[in-house]
Copies of this chain bind each other. A is one copy, B any other.
Amino acid sequence: MDVIERIYEIDIDKNSEQPLYIQIYEKIRDLIELGILSANAKLPPVRKLASRLNVNMVTVINAYRLLEDNGYIYSRVGSGTYVSPMKAKSVQENILHDEDRIIRDDFKLMDRGQVYIRSDAINFAGNSLSPEYFPVDIFKNLIIEILERDRGYAFGYQESQGFLPLRESIVNFLGEYGIYTTPDNVQVISGAQQGLDIVSKALLNFGDKIIVESPTYAGALAVFNTRGAKVIEVPVQSDGINTELLEYNLKNNRIKFIYVMPDFQNPTGISYSLEKRKELLRLAKKYNTLIIEDDYVGDLYYGESKEMPLKALDNGETVIYIKSFSKLFMPGLRLAFLVFPTKYYDEILSAKHISDISTSGLIQRVFDLYIRRNLWKSHIENVRRIYKDKFKKMIDNLQKYMPKEVKYNLPKGGFNFWFSLPDGINSSFLYGEALRKGVLIIPGMVFFNNSALGERYIRLSFAEVKDEDIEKGIEMLGNIIKQHMDKKVQKSLSPLL
């Protein structure tokens, strides 16, 4: 079908509280931003679109005006309305301009599952629990209970460090991870991203050097870069960060901290061996630096158990531990916590205070009950069971459809598979081709400060993809790759990591 025909297919909901013209505005904006409508494409006449969508002409006029006000379209007198070339750079063109911060930000949004996704898209981009598994009813009842119990106090200013009973609950449940601490060493935060921001404010001065895994989480790179830090990227191997290169960099630089995700690393999915964990700690102590441990989705292991967090192996002084509740629970809640060595008490509390004073008191109180009643624990067990099945389905279909020239390590948990592509196809091209066929993936570039390094890699997440889409999506990707990779025999490709 003609691409402009897509406009006639947009979904509007006449029962929504959202005005119709805003709905139309948003849908057309998304078509432009996704590169589906290209530069200078002619939009349908107002009368025709109004009649096809069965709305008033004024509604369409208002939507077009808003698009024009925001630079998405322009009109030519007596001729019609067109997509503005400024906004409609084709997606592929955008990706080739990979230094473009705005576009990189789009990917970051995608990395968090935030991009405007066609409702029929097969989503291998989203990276947190699928909404169908949110424990909405239980949580709703707890909210009502808290409002009846605490009344106005739930809405007053909260202690900046976090609601004390919640910090106690956190301390108790950390015991199960082998982490023993006190409520005074816990800072409640509004999501793990804020944790990275707070740690940066507390510890980094302009020009300080830090070490990150390469590749690493795009949102971490963004926050460290904006703080003016010099970021040194040390490659990860299948059992954790390359400790020889790590030591080389520690020896030759004064490093403020090392940022790592030891379990089911984002994006590679690899986990640190116990030896690597111990070696990392030893090096951090030897060179008198700190480790920021981001316990990304550590609860989501598919074996019998997993290795201990670094924080559990630490004497309490070397590791700042960040754990999100949002990612495996309800990401829109924005709730996480930090465990920090006592000596950083002032810096961490002050950084939280200047960031947003405190995290929502209502959410803290409700989540405290959720932990106290063991609901968190049973929720996690449930989620683990569901995702273990999805994980198996991924592996079956990867074996079936992915050409053997595409290399990957088998993750032990988490949501992510990380692939190295064969010669002849790079990840921005694959991203664009897949998008056109309705499959969303994340190209590797967003996980490196030097994005050229990412051209060989893609990440697939199965957090938000529907069970019934897994086979279709992987088959499509496999076909695109087969079609474009160098046909000559590929010899002795090195293993991925």
Contact = CB atoms under 8 A, between A and B. Distances in A.
A461 interface: no
Interface of A: 17-19, 22, 26, 66, 69-71, 101-102, 105, 108-109, 112-114, 128, 131-132, 134, 136, 139-140, 143-144, 147, 151-160, 164-165, 168, 182-184, 190-191, 193-194, 197, 201, 205-206, 219, 222-223, 226, 228, 330-334, 342, 346, 349-351, 353-363, 372
Contacts of A153: 131
A226 to B, nearest CB: 6
Given A66-B182, A360-B360, A144 B152 contact: no
Contacts of A165: 17-18
Contact of A131 (B156, B331, B372): B156
Contacts of A132: 152
Contact of A147 (B143, B182, B357): B143
B201 A157 contact: no
Contact of A194 (B19, B108, B351, B356): B356
A112 to B, nearest CB: 6
9 contacts: A105-B350, A105-B353, A131-B153, A155-B332, A156-B332, A190-B334, A201-B226, A222-B354, A360-B360
Contacts of A346: 101-102, 105
A222 B350 contact: yes
Contacts of A157: 112-114, 128, 331-332
Contacts of A184: 69-70
A334 B160 CA distance: 12
A357 B112 contact: yes
A162 to B, nearest CB: 12
A358 B143 CA distance: 21
A372 B18 CA distance: 11
Given A69-B182, A182-B66, A152 B168 contact: no
Nearest to A183: B22
Nearest to A355: B197
A109, A184, A354, A358, most chain B CB atoms within 10 A: A354
A168 B334 contact: no
A113 B357 CA distance: 11
Contacts of A206: 206, 228
A156 B331 contact: yes
A408 to B, nearest CB: 26
B349 A168 contact: no
Contact of A26 (B114, B131, B164): B164
Given A17-B372, A22-B168, A152-B132, A334 B360 contact: yes
A155 B194 CA distance: 18
A101 B143 contact: no
B357 A191 contact: yes
A276 B134 CA distance: 53
Closest 3 CB pairs of A and B: A155-B330, A332-B361, A131-B152
B134 A332 contact: no
Contact of A356 (B19, B155, B191, B363): B191
A343 to B, nearest CB: 11
A365 to B, nearest CB: 9
A359 B184 CA distance: 26
